A and B are shown apart, each in its own frame.
Chain A
Amino acid sequence: MDTILKIDGVSKRFGGLMALADVSFEVKKGRILGLIGPNGAGKTTMFNCIAGIYKPTEGRIVFDKETGPVDVGGSRPEQMTQMGVARTFQNIRLFGSLPVLDNVRIGRHCRAAQGFWGAVLRTKGQKAEERMLVEQSMEYLDFVGLKNKALDLSSSLSYGDQRRLEIARALASQPKLLLLDEPAAGMNPQETASLVDLIHAIMRKDITVVLIEHDMKLVMSICEHLVVLDHGVKIAEGGPRDIRENPEVIEAYLGRGAAHA
């Protein structure tokens, strides 16, 4: 099976803190990988390195572009988005004073082209593109079930809907790889259930997903493959069953001695 993303010995240091220490794993195309670990394990830091927000202190991040695999470590966020890596944020970062639709239109930014002169002169091409942006954005909103709220202010949405909107905004950039950072956090059981359906629907669109999630039941039910981080170190990797029974993982989550209890 093809590898879409290869993390190769990545370290990230913040002053004296090793947030990631020599982490390596591969993400297979078309599958869903779960990235788990206790608080402060370095999961979000890993996403930030992949998405171009942090430059890894060491190691390579190899992304499989159409033209072949390239080391993308140290690329800027907008370059990563352009290449086909989109992400959501653990602490929701929507454009709160803008309508829902505009959030998705902005998410689609890198798949459109009109600039200053197009806007000022309202050229034919510009008008056509604007029309298309609305249509396409509405399709993404429909996909996540927010079509009817398109013109509401995005900060007025419920917590669960805000998380869905973040997913729609990320999808609008037509990613090949989607990084979801705790999408179920703060959701009630019904919302979580429909999120699972949404993630399955995203997978059917041939988008590879990496999922950070604290809800173990959720992760174990939808991920075929898991990577476990603790204190910046990869402590285990494998299928849900292996991970659940791995003594090191149990120890990391429940504290020393728990594995033997």
Chain B
Amino acid sequence: MPPEGARDGAPSGGAPGSAAPAGGVDALADAVLQGDKRAVARALNLVEDRRPSARDDVAALLERLAASDTDGGHRVGMTGPPGVGKSSLCAALGRTLREAGRSVGVVAIDPSSVRSGGSLLGDRARMSFDPGDEGFFVRSLATGGQAGGLSYAANSAARVLGAAFDVVLIETTGVGQSETDVMHLADTVALVIQPGSGDALQFLKAGIMEIPDVLIVNKADQVALARRAVSDLRGALRAAKSAGLVDAGAAWEVPIVPTSAETGRGLDSLAHQLALHHAYLLAAPGGVRARRLRGDVEWTLSLFAHTYGAHGVSTLGGRANLRLEVRQSLEAGETALRLVDTLGQRYLDALRTA
């Protein structure tokens, strides 16, 4: 028996089980832009929906959001090894930003079980929040099939949250592909490490890890250890620079920020550094959009590859050619989802004529 809400049709738009937003995509998008939590939740349900029937609505929603929103929020990727305090930090940073009058959306990604496809989305448990606060919102997403990477919906979800809130924090699983994926999604990538663990350091030195925009040493309530970690990181950055792994002439100096999600230490300074990096991006030629374009190209490619496989990619001329084409189309104002559909159509046509 369908319960009341569903029967009179009121909240069915993106209600847990349904795709088509009642009142239409435009109304939903407008409510999202107002920062209406219920609308945001429904929009997220919609972008998570993988049914072909939802596709058009998702594309329309994202298009409308992109068209009406000025900057799409500041997207910050929070990445780093398991257990360093990413979730705790998202909550603590969230509080700091809220106090400064900024609204905050969080996308927290956790891995799905390979055996069952299910997941235990544990980040939320670490994010204490005020349930009455209209300006703080957390959605947990499971990686689904994509081993190690971001969730299918993460990219769209970040867009929805970005349209509704000032800052979007994207917490990755901290392993495998997710690090690279988040580089393509976030405007600012913050790598979180904890004192006394050498991994990140080794990776930075060896150039295995791309250099993030901000380095965070969390759990800096362990004062002495944290001090060591900061100076070690400083050394590693210098080494990376002299090894040519970082553009020595770049205007952005990667800051190293010690924080404690427990005591609140360093959070103001973290918020400040993130804002500085955002300002730096805005001031750069092409602004944030230039940086996002690169990410969107990769996102489009991976969506296409995910749906149509390697054969799809090679049929349309191979990865390099396809990337070039995608970039041009996106530059011309096409959106990722529509483009994937267009390309998909071309692939299917090619199959038919072959």
User: Do the two chains belong together in a single complex?
Assistant: no
